Amino acid sequence: MIRLNGIAVKFGDFTALHDINVHVEEGEFFTFLGPSGCGKTTTLRTITGFIQPVAGSVVVKGKDITHVPIEERNIGIVFQSYALFPTMTVYDNIAFGLKLKKLKKPEIAKKVEEIARKVDLSGEQLKKAVSQLSGGQQQRVAIARALVTEPSIICMDEPLSNLDAKLRVQLRNELKQMQKDFGITTIYVTHDQEEALTLSDHIAVFNKGAIEQIGTPNEVYNHSATEFVCNFIGDIDLLGAEAVSALNRAGGRLDPAANNYIRLERIHVNVDPKPGNVVLEGMVDGLEYYGLYIKYYIRAAGQIVKVIEKNDGVNIYEAGQNVRVVMDPRDVMAYPAT
Amino acid sequence: MTKTRGRMGPTLLLKIFGLAFFAYLFLGFMLLPCLNTLASIFNTKNASGVTDPLAVIRFFFAGNMGSFVWNSLKLAVCLVVTVNIVGVSIVLLTEYFDIKGARILRLGYMTTLIYSGVALVTGYLFLYDSNGILTTLLAEAFPGMDPNWFSGFNAVLFTMTFACTSNHALFLRNAIRGIDYNTVEAARNMGARPFKVLWKVVFPTLIPTMFSLTVMTFITGLCAMSAPTLLGYDSINPEIVRLAGSSSADEAFPQARAALLSIILALFTIVLLTVLSSYERRGHYLSVSKTKAKLQKQRIDTPLWNILAHIYAYILFIIYMIPVVMIVIFSFQTFGAIRMKKLDLSNWTLINFFGSQDYQYLTNRGTYKTRKGSISGLFANEATLGGIKLSFVLSAIAAALACVIVVVACNYIFKNRNKKSGTLMEYCMLFPWLLPTILICYSYRVYFNSNDVWYVGGTNLYYAGHVRLLIVLAYTVVKLPFSLRMIKAAFYAIDEELEDAARNLGSSPLVTFLKVKLPIILPSVLAVFALNFNALFTEYDMSATFASSYGTTYAMVIQSMCREEGLYGYNVNASGRRCASTVFIMVVSGIILYLVYGVGARDLGERLEAKDRRRKRLERLKGLGRRRKEAAV
């Protein structure tokens, strides 16, 4: 569907992107994830044509569109700020692209009403000015405006970052549902790993203008290709020499010279060890209370090990309490030390 | 960053044409005429016809020319003191201290926004002149009083002190309203007394604004025109205008002297503005708080001080309001009442506005003579109506031209905002700001008063009706810097993603500009147009410099109404028309300011809400009518 072949972008002397290769399948929800300034938005803007790459090509459905003008690409975009036209009503905002396509008035009205229904905007809201709508409603308008021209691809540039936490989660689910219903190929940019993991079919993790890993959420999370990816996504414990040798004694084959990581939720407290597991004696140093779960800081094997325990009323420990920490060497992700 | 294929031919052509236009505008109508003025100082010929480059400068130090500069400086320095005292007072009294009736007081203090310049000065003359209403009243009360107190320096200082507080009323008010009230509360909490808070916490945050206002006031004082001209004070500007109209047969090289004076004025302005902008660039105390608390009015606790503050506030209010009230009242009085400066509460008339009456007067032969329709209203008097029409047309054209030029320039500046070409364009458009208006106008008058300027087709633009074109050109050029600053701010407020969004939805750059960007900046552009028009409609300084029978603008007509009236049946009821003119100007300005700041400031949402409210009100009325009908049935 979309292929980026060896894309490079420069701003003056600064290389913003180098050798970006991505393949997005038809109907897929594909996320560009990374910290700010990593090049994910630049890549998105290269696909929509706002930025011209100095090398490489953008191919959509087998057609090279690298030099096709922005307005002829028919790739929808939802902006971080929504970029709704403040001088137009909601209806006129959505109808803007259709009017430019010189569609007849009744046809425009029909299409606008149809898409408004799908994104859950009422007829009353269509008559309003954009500024009279709430953040969540404005977001729906932005999506409706991007979808109404029936683009083959829709790009979203951090579309949820302007909303408060609760609405963000709610709209995230709606967004996924809408994408499923429309079946439209979606490219989504975010720095929020939770958003990326819950929404995506595939994730490309960006760092310093290059892609570190492309994979499914599970691949990226549990089999991070690079040290950067495993650190960027989720919380993780870096294991010290004492813990590594203990794991090796239990049958692990870890390289003590490498950086060995283990996810917090893969460490268990006061459970019966399975064959091949290692047990370390420790003491609760402190804890952070999150409601849904509790994060414990446990002093064991000469370091602080972070552990997540579900707040289910069963495994509740207090600071100073002696505990047993159980882990499996197979859960360890190792990267050569740099 | 973005590139589009094709269509480069016409686009490139348009760009070249546009840049050529701006080069023509800048070189032809800003740089060359002013350079010519500068050069003319050194082209003076002495009595024997030999060029003597330093003749004017020697004359300056030998003669009395220095006194004009000195007078202007004296006025500027005194104005800085008096205007700041009054300006700070009116803002503190209405915004900071808890004074009873602050809303009414504010309206009074802000009257200078709707009438200024020549209308205000003639209004003051009407009241305080040796036979003015107030002076007559005061002289009756205090027989020892000098009836001619209102003339020269005192009169100019008095008038301008109260006329030039508009900027304080706008900008200092905003600054004081921007203060985070929590800082005031914190100071009080730590034990500071209210006046200590004012001095140590509030004033320091106002210093940047005060500094700008001081520089602007100083320049206003230096470049004063209407007040010194009408009230008789020998400052630089009136002298330049006088010299420009003089000939070398009457005095030694008047043109070169005028040029020298205008260059001196320009030097002062440039130095002051450079100081101001370097000060502004140093950065200011910015409020660091994210959650500002709204300022609450401070009650003055000591009863004595509280009473004194109230008295002071209302005395200022009376000074501001008397001219307005008197002029409004007298504009509806008969010719006789105005002549006698006596209110006649039983006799009101609209003659000063509409219609005409016959006028009977005694000739020196002892017979009565009647002039038909000699007493005429503002809109019936041919000369006045002509002035209004001319000013209306010239101001509207110039205001619109300035807006169009600036919108195009801003689009260019915005597109090239990180390039040298964008900065160059911006500086070119700001150039007239550096120069006193009088220098630009005087330069136009001299430079274009010739058939040798090839780039205007060898036409003498100061000749006959062409002078109107010259006035429009001067109006436009002088208004460019202000328009640029306002419209550029509007351009920078546009979210860049909007342009991307429009392009993404399939619109070309031109359609994007017309359908997305222009509607967003349009309210600002219209506001700038209205403010430009408002300023130019009663503009005096420039039209006085271009004084010509083909270019008699409204302000010039008003000025001519100050001449002795009723003599031999001419210029009858000029004072009445003068009052009516001031009322007319106040109404026009009031409407424009209401449209700009009241209606124009609303966004689409607010407009739709207002429309909704109107619709509901109408429905309620209809419902009421229907119910009544039903009840009647």
| Chain A CA closest to residue B511 | A100
Q: Are residues A85 and B498, on separate chains, in Cβ contact within 8 Å? A: yes
Spatial CA neighbour of A37 closest among A233, A191, A201: A191
Q: Region B441-455: what's the mean pLDDT?
A: 90
Distance from CA of A134 to the nearest CA of B (A): 12
- Given a cut of 90, whether residue B369 has pLDDT beyond it is no
- Given a cut of 50, whether residue B3 has pLDDT beyond it is no
Q: Picking from B194-208, B378-392, B594-608, which range would have the lowest pLDDT averaged per residue?
A: B594-608
**Residue ranges in B331-456 assigned as alpha helix (H):** 335-340, 382-415, 420-434, 437-447
Q: Region A93-107: what's the mean pLDDT?
A: 92
Q: Picking from A171-185, B338-352, B401-415, B564-578, which range would have the lowest pLDDT averaged per residue?
A: B564-578
Residue B604 near residue A86 (C-beta atoms within 8 A): yes
Q: Which residue has the tokens 């001209």?
A: B229
| B629 or A221, greater pLDDT | A221
| Chain B CA closest to residue A48 | B504
Q: Are residues B609 and A77, on separate chains, in Cβ contact within 8 Å? A: no
CA dihedral A88, A92, A96, A99 (to 10 degrees): -130
User: CB-based contacts of B227: which residues, under 8 Å, 6+ apart?
Assistant: B121, B155, B156, B159, B160, B163, B233
Share of chain B above pLDDT 70, in %: 96
Indicate if the alpha-carbon torsion angle A233, A236, A240, A246 is positive or negative. negative
Q: Are residues A81 and B500, on separate chains, in Cβ contact within 8 Å? A: no
Q: What is the pLDDT of residue A221?
A: 94
Per residue in B513-542, pLDDT (tens digit) is 889 999 888 888 988 898 899 889 988 989
* Pairwise CA distance, residues B306 & B414, whole Å: 52
Q: Are residues B608 and A127, on separate chains, in Cβ contact within 8 Å? A: yes
| Chain A CA closest to residue B498 | A83
Q: Are residues B609 and A132, on separate chains, in Cβ contact within 8 Å? A: yes
DSSP string covering B132-169: SHHHHHHHHHSTTS-TT-SSHHHHHHHHHHHHTTHHII
Q: Are residues A81 and B2, on separate chains, in Cβ contact within 8 Å? A: no
Q: Is A15 in a helix, a strand, or coil?
A: strand
Q: Region A146-157: what's the mean pLDDT?
A: 90
Q: Does B4 touch chain A (CB under 8 A)?
A: yes
Which amino acid, B501? A
Least CB–CB distance from B497: residue in A51, A79, A89? A79
Q: Does B418 touch chain A (CB under 8 A)?
A: no
Least CB–CB distance from A86: residue in B506, B507, B604? B604
User: CB-based contacts of B19: which residues, under 8 Å, 6+ apart?
Assistant: none
DSSP B27: I
Q: In which band, very low, low, confident or very high, does the pLDDT at B396 lie, cut at 50, 70 and 90?
A: very high
Q: Which residue has the tokens 């939802």?
A: A78
Distances in Å between the Cα of B295 and the Cα atoms of A12, B63, B172, B210, B285 are 47, 55, 14, 19, 18
- Given a cut of 80, whether residue B472 has pLDDT beyond it is yes
Q: Are residues B503 and A70, on separate chains, in Cβ contact within 8 Å? A: yes
Distances in Å between the Cα of B177 and the Cα atoms of B185, B197, B213, B593 are 15, 15, 17, 21
Question: What are φ and ψ of residue A191, in 5° steps?
Answer: -110, 0
| B410 or B362, greater pLDDT | B410
Q: Are residues A129 and B604, on separate chains, in Cβ contact within 8 Å? A: yes
Cβ-based contacts of B521 with chain A (< 8 Å): none
Q: Are residues A129 and B607, on separate chains, in Cβ contact within 8 Å? A: yes
Residues from A in contact with B at Cβ < 8 Å = 45, 48-52, 67, 69-77, 79-81, 83-89, 96-97, 100-101, 127-132, 145, 149
Q: What is the pLDDT of residue A229?
A: 94
Indicate if the alpha-carbon torsion angle B3, B6, B9, B10 is positive or negative. negative
**CATH T-level topology, domain B381-560:** MetI-like fold (1.10.3720)
* Pairwise CA distance, residues A10 & A288, whole Å: 44
Q: Are residues B495 and A83, on separate chains, in Cβ contact within 8 Å? A: yes
Q: Are residues A149 and B519, on separate chains, in Cβ contact within 8 Å? A: no
DSSP string covering B478-532: HHHHHHHHHHHHHHHTS-HHHHHHHHHTT--HHHIIIIIIHHHHHHHHHHHHHHH
User: CB-based contacts of B347: which residues, under 8 Å, 6+ apart?
Assistant: B333, B334, B337
Q: Picking from B314-323, B453-462, B569-578, which range would have the lowest pLDDT averaged per residue?
A: B569-578
- Which residues are bridge partners to B617 per DSSP? none
Least CB–CB distance from A86: residue in B1, B508, B603? B603
DSSP B245: T
* Pairwise CA distance, residues A140 & A155, whole Å: 14
Q: What is the pLDDT of residue B2?
A: 43
- Given a cut of 50, whether residue B6 has pLDDT beyond it is no
User: CB-based contacts of A302: which residues, under 8 Å, 6+ apart?
Assistant: A240, A242, A243
- Given a cut of 80, whether residue B568 has pLDDT beyond it is no
Distances in Å between the Cα of B516 and the Cα atoms of A76, A151, B482, B508, B512 are 18, 21, 24, 11, 5
Q: In which band, very low, low, confident or very high, does the pLDDT at B9 lie, cut at 50, 70 and 90?
A: low
Any long-range contacts for A270-277 (C-beta under 8 Å, 24+ apart)? A270/A315, A270/A323, A270/A324, A271/A326, A273/A326, A274/A328, A276/A250, A276/A251, A276/A328, A276/A329, A276/A330, A277/A250, A277/A326, A277/A327, A277/A328
Q: What is the pLDDT of residue B253?
A: 82
User: CB-based contacts of A319: which residues, under 8 Å, 6+ apart?
Assistant: A284, A285, A286, A287
Per residue in B65-75, pLDDT (tens digit) is 889 999 999 99
Q: Are residues A127 and B1, on separate chains, in Cβ contact within 8 Å? A: no
Q: What is the pLDDT of residue B569?
A: 67
CB pairs under 8 A between A and B: 98
* Pairwise CA distance, residues B525 & B523, whole Å: 5
Q: Are residues A72 and B3, on separate chains, in Cβ contact within 8 Å? A: no
Q: Are residues A50 and B1, on separate chains, in Cβ contact within 8 Å? A: yes
Q: Are residues A129 and B1, on separate chains, in Cβ contact within 8 Å? A: no
* Pairwise CA distance, residues A76 & A79, whole Å: 10
> Hey, which bits of A13-172 come out as E strands?
14-24, 29-33, 55-60, 63-64, 75-78, 153-157
- Given a cut of 70, whether residue B48 has pLDDT beyond it is yes
Q: What is the pLDDT of residue B5?
A: 45
Best of B11, B419, B505 to substitute, by most chain A Cβ atoms within 10 angstroms, is B505
* Pairwise CA distance, residues B76 & B214, whole Å: 10
Q: What is the pLDDT of residue B79?
A: 96
Cβ-based contacts of A74 with chain B (< 8 Å): 506
- Given a cut of 90, whether residue B123 has pLDDT beyond it is no
Q: In which band, very low, low, confident or very high, does the pLDDT at B4 lie, cut at 50, 70 and 90?
A: very low
Residue A271 near residue A210 (C-beta atoms within 8 A): no
Please state the separation of Cα B186 from the chain's center in Å.
40
- Given a cut of 60, whether residue B289 has pLDDT beyond it is no
Rounded mean pLDDT of chain A? 91
Q: Are residues B520 and A87, on separate chains, in Cβ contact within 8 Å? A: yes
Q: What is the pLDDT of residue B54?
A: 81
Q: What is the pLDDT of residue B8?
A: 56
Least CB–CB distance from B516: residue in A85, A128, A132? A85
Cβ-based contacts of B522 with chain A (< 8 Å): 87
Q: Region A1-15: what's the mean pLDDT?
A: 92
- Given a cut of 90, whether residue A55 has pLDDT beyond it is yes
Rounded mean pLDDT of chain B? 86
Residue B352 near residue B593 (C-beta atoms within 8 A): no
Question: ipTM of the predicted structure?
Answer: 0.77
Share of chain B above pLDDT 90, in %: 30
Cβ-based contacts of A69 with chain B (< 8 Å): 4-5
Q: The sheet that has A333-335: what strands, in order across it?
A: A236-238, A259-263, A333-335
Q: Region B149-160: what's the mean pLDDT?
A: 91
Distances in Å between the Cα of A238 and the Cα atoms of A260, A294, B340 are 6, 19, 99
As given in the structure block, the two tokens for residue B254 are 């008047």
Residue B142: count of CB within 10 angstroms of its CB: 9
Distances in Å between the Cα of A117 and the Cα atoms of A92, A130, A284, B593 are 16, 17, 54, 43
- Given a cut of 80, whether residue B633 has pLDDT beyond it is no
As given in the structure block, the two tokens for residue B543 are 């039209």
Residue B244 near residue B199 (C-beta atoms within 8 A): no
Q: Which residue has the tokens 């490219």?
A: A187
* Pairwise CA distance, residues B370 & B359, whole Å: 6
Least CB–CB distance from A71: residue in B3, B506, B609? B506
> What's this model's pTM, rounded to 2 decimal places?
0.81
| Chain B CA closest to residue A88 | B604
Cβ-based contacts of A49 with chain B (< 8 Å): 2, 504
For domain B64-282+290-330, give the CATH superfamily. Answer: MetI-like (1.10.3720.10)
Question: What are φ and ψ of residue B389, in 5° steps?
Answer: -60, -45
Least CB–CB distance from B507: residue in A50, A87, A100? A100
- Given a cut of 80, whether residue A338 has pLDDT beyond it is no
Per residue in B188-220, pLDDT (tens digit) is 888 788 788 888 888 888 888 898 899 989 999
* Pairwise CA distance, residues A252 & B302, whole Å: 84
- Given a cut of 80, whether residue B566 has pLDDT beyond it is no
Q: What is the pLDDT of residue B64?
A: 84
* Pairwise CA distance, residues B465 & B398, whole Å: 16
- Given a cut of 60, whether residue B430 has pLDDT beyond it is yes
Per residue in B235-249, pLDDT (tens digit) is 999 999 888 888 777
Per residue in A276-285, pLDDT (tens digit) is 899 999 999 9
